[in-house]
Amino acid sequence: MGWMDSKVQELRERKELFRGQGGVENIKRQHERKKLTARERLDLLLDPGSFMELDLLVTPGCSDFALDQSWAPTDGNISGHARIEGRSVFVSADDFTVLGGSIGGVGWAKFTRAQDYAYTMGVPLVQLVDTGGGRPQEQHANYGYANLSHFVRHTRHSGVIPQIALVMGPAVAGIAYGPALADFIFMVKETSYMFIAGPPVVKSLISEDVSQEDLGGSRIHTQVSGLSDLACENDQDCIQKCKELLRLLPSNNREQPPVVAMGDDPQRRDSSLADVLPAGPNEPYDMKEVVRRIVDNGYTFEVKPEYAPNLITCFARLDGHTVGIVANQPKVLGGGLDINSADKGARFMRFCDAFNIPIVNLVDTCGCVLGTKMERGGIIRHAAKLVYAHAEATVPQVTVLLRKTAPTGYWAMGNAAGGADLVFAWPSAEVGLIGVDEGMEAILGSGPVKEMLAKASDPDRLTGEMREEYRGKLVDLYKALPGRHAMDVIDPAETRSTLIRALAALSTKRVELPRKKHEIIPQ
């Protein structure tokens, strides 16, 4: 045996020991919590044999509180370069089997290095979060918990590379800001939670008794707070959803999204598509059915499906090209825009614009949701964010008007004057500066009309006649064409082919923006 052989053997044994994570008992406890270990998760996420782990043979850099006596391989963080379905990525995974996934100075350094590499190489960053928080023994060290430069990196890298956080366990206190700064957050039902302060602290400070799940579980953040984009069934489902999303996205903001042949005829007609719309102008229907019939093979990847469901935000493909779809959902609040849906739509649109993903708007809205709750909550400033997102976007934007286009909603949904490049309408669309219901309220409330109705022998019949006259003269679709409310009226059966041709025509769109540091989005 040569002099190097013994050293190589020692190296192999040391690496094998460190890859054993926190030991058999801690791995067993992780499985009992219905959670995979960090390395099992990475094995599912990454292409076999592609992972180049960085800083495997490290341990905590602080000896306070007898930490030097604890077994902490990799300092509880596994980071490196790999491939997912052939595409280059950087990953960072918290290892809960090592000191409860707590993060110390060495772990922070490993994660921020992964952030830097992802940014420099122009590839997505995927963060697998499962941590009890910052390690208190190291919070005052220069290299420890007080070093929050990863927040700066999240922010600076935003809009440059996709950042995806898979929350597969706890993410608490200040640690929760990291995933919150990512582009997408996926959580796992029953095993993941995010909050600023846990139940014991909440109870001690404000005497509120609440469980972890009700305080910050996946249901709360996917349905109530809107923090999380998806609630996944288990770790395996979460990882598959991450892969599915990555297939639709470019690696960075200088690339175009990948084009995938879907085998769906771009000229395909759907003669029954118009039947999805009910005859009554105010009757509900499911806009998701319209979306499914238009896109390639009916496939969509919906973002925040359980939050603000009156607005649909999803990725799909048209002739193999990724598109972002923003669509009113008439079966919820009549497709009206409220505070939450406006925020949801604006954020989604800004992501699409940052990563060269064309936007398709499908409009059927009764306008903004009314009432004191909305007004006092700031519906104007929130809806203005959606108006702003449409106006600032430089990617191709195509809008289709299906039915109702009440102005307060339509102005925030991509009209010709507000950012859309091309606007098409179905024959069922009602367009105008003000909808029929709103317009008639104003007309019927005027003095001369009140006087006329008071003298009429049949005021109900006269009101009906006035409504039809209003609809014919001021909300007539064909009379709106010269005003650029729509560039053309199309057969609903040809919606798919029209969108594909329109996006192809706009594919060379280039916009020179004014020189400035950045926009100031509405409050």
Query: What is the mean pLDDT, run by run of 10 residues, along the chain of 523 residues?
Result: 85 90 92 96 98 90 53 90 98 94 85 95 98 73 56 92 97 88 97 91 89 93 97 98 98 97 96 93 94 98 98 98 98 94 96 98 90 90 91 95 84 83 91 60 64 71 66 61 76 98 96 84 76
Written as one letter, the residue type at 392 is: E
pTM above 0.85?
Answer: yes
* Residue 470 to residue 443: CA distance in whole angstroms: 10
Please check whether residue 403 is in contact with residue 427, taking contact to mean a CB–CB distance below 8 angstroms: no
Q: Which pLDDT does position 404 carry in this prediction?
A: 87
Neighbours of 254 (CB within 10 A): 10
For residue 491, which of 175, 270, 201, 216 has the smallest C-alpha distance? Answer: 270
| 178 contacts 150 by C-beta, under 8 angstroms | yes
Quote the pLDDT of residue 22: 84
Count Cβ atoms within 10 A of the Cβ of residue 438 and give its class: 0-12 exposed, 13-18 middle, 19 or more buried: middle
- Cross-strand bridge partners of residue 422: 398
Percent helix, percent strand, percent coil in the chain, to nearest 5:
45, 15, 40
Residue 135: its pLDDT value, please?
76
Instruction: Give the ranges where 193-271 is alpha helix by DSSP (H).
Output: 199-206, 212-216, 218-219, 235-248
Predicted local confidence at residue 405, as pLDDT: 85
Q: Is the dihedral of CA 278, 283, 288, 291 positive or negative?
A: positive
Q: How many CB atoms lie within 10 A of CB 376?
A: 8
Q: Residue 307: how many CA atoms within 13 Å on its side-chain side?
A: 27
Domains, the chain, in order of start with CATH, read 3-248 (3.90.226.10), 273-432+477-505 (3.90.226.10), 436-474 (no CATH)
Instruction: State the DSSP string of 307-339.
Output: SSTTEEEEEEEETTEEEEEEEE-TTTGGG-B-H
Q: Which two tokens stand for residue 488?
A: 């053309």
Looking at residue 61, its pLDDT comes to 64
